[in-house]
Structure 1
Amino acid sequence: MRLGRRLAIVVGLVLGVLTLVGQPANAAYYNTYTTIAGLPNTSCCTGVQGFAAGSTYLYSVKNHTNYDDLAVIYRVNKSTGDRVLMTNGTNGGTTNTWLGHANDMTIVDIDSQHHLFVVTMESTGAQLVKLRYDGTTYYYAGSFQIRLNGAVAAPSGVSRVSQDSTTIRFMFKSGRTVYNGSIPLRANTGTIDLTKAFDLQVEGALVNGAPVSDITTFLNQGFFYDATKKVLYYPLTKENRSIVLVYRNISPTTTGTAPAASDLSFRITSSAYTTFEIEGVGLSGGILYFNTNRSNADGSADGVHSFNAYVA
């Protein structure tokens, strides 16, 4: 073999290795979804907000858009799509006045009873509301004030991290910043003092192997922390586009700025809907579920969905 040809082959191999190292095609990318059930508007409530995924059911709040004074909760069977508008067991009917903007929520089982913890984003009163639910009925169970350095904090996201015989630990998110906070296991009222944990990288984050030029103009939504695998999922939305960024090796002791994963991302760019906003995400059985505000010229088409093909 001639030297020139051998050199060409060696150079080709080196370039091939370099190409593979930075090859966007190697990134796992999910951009299709399945709708499990619609979330129709009610007489009061038109805005999809907080979401939580349980082992059998998916829970989604709709509130009174632009007023934050009334809310309802939908329960959807993740396998069959059967949908129920849950009953307010404390006051009767289906609406409640406790949840404010209800931007995000998380499920916590306490003494074998199911609970939803919901962030209200209110600047006065309670910033975290505790609901107990049994079947298709929920009950007001308590509320908490949230403080950061002594001042009211109104986080937009909440996710359960862990619990033991005395304490429930949460991560809260405000914008791109994640905080730690906790409450006694059986507490129904009190103050949660936040401590800053880390920031989430957004600018320069890769989606399908490439940065999104206007990602800093996307709106913040809720988030979900998979404590078992130490992975955080963070949805961002703009008009008919929704992105979910992923962060690995996350724990309550993480500090600084957590980098977004370069090899795993989610995006839906909808041609059918002028508004396609993922509000919240959650894992159940390894499937990544989410709820949406969706609309087009035909009106609202809000729903709960799952990403196709992805298994955590």
Structure 2
Amino acid sequence: MKSVSCVLSLSLAVIISTTSLAAENCMPVTALNDQHAQYCQAGITRDIANQFATDRDQKQDQWCWAACISMVFAAYGFEINQSEIVRQAYGTIANLPGTPQAILQSLNRSWTDINGRIFSSQATTIREPLERTYSDLVAGRPLIVGSLGHAMVVTSIGVFKTHQGMFLDQVLVRDPYPYNKWAWDNYTKGLRPLSWEEIGNTQCLFHITVRGHATNGSTSNRCIRSCKKQLRDCLDVYNVEFTDCLDYKVERCMDACINEFGFSRHECRSNKCSLNNNNNRARWHDKCEDEAVEDNPDQCHETNQECIDDCNG
């Protein structure tokens, strides 16, 4: 599953200028019999979106909400790991969907990112989703959309503007789910259009304001950055071990599949041994978590908090 109990559409306003992130392009449309009709596209430029989407596919099958929050924060230079978002929301690192309470708690609070930068966010609901989405993207503010139990980051929108109003044509998102048919790779980084079914089933919508705050003193700042680097290194070890373990499970499965059924490696990888298979993901995920227990993320975060406490004296 890749569900979230009440996913959201989110826009982010920061005290940092965001206009360089976005582009708006409009062209006349003659086929609509309206001399003022235009087709307009607004959104985050692809290069910028690629930067904040890099390495931010969801790390667990229930973490689409945490991946999207992390991705949007990253658009403004604030680095918060998905595991830290989950830990702060639930008190532990667990493969859990984002409840409305957990999401709102994550979006109405202060954060310290991995570089020691402090910022705060506040969430309010959106009442005019199309117009507000368009204006936020014109201003360079990415959004998060929740539909059919899944959260994604909105980076671009296409609309028709006529004397009768604004009409939606297309919404482009960065989908954090790494096993979707659009494939998460170095080129796409989860880029895909929303389907009309997804658009018609959009759920909770929130506007977010985010403001950064100065840290107290360069010495403390350097100390905190050192702590955060140690945290990244600790989590990297866990993530590498976990990924290697999943790769090993797939290879073992394919060997057995070829020997038992005589299928090709491609047939085995695409079917019996695919990570798209919910049973495979659940079984191998649990086993690999157990095998990577020496580098438990909870312990990484506990050690990091002790380090930060020492920095703050």
Tell me which protein shows more helix as a share of its residues.
2
Q: Which has the higher contact order (CA 8 A, sep 6+)?
A: 2
* TM-score of the aligned structures, taking structure 1 as reference length: 0.27
Tell me which protein shows more strand as a share of its residues.
1
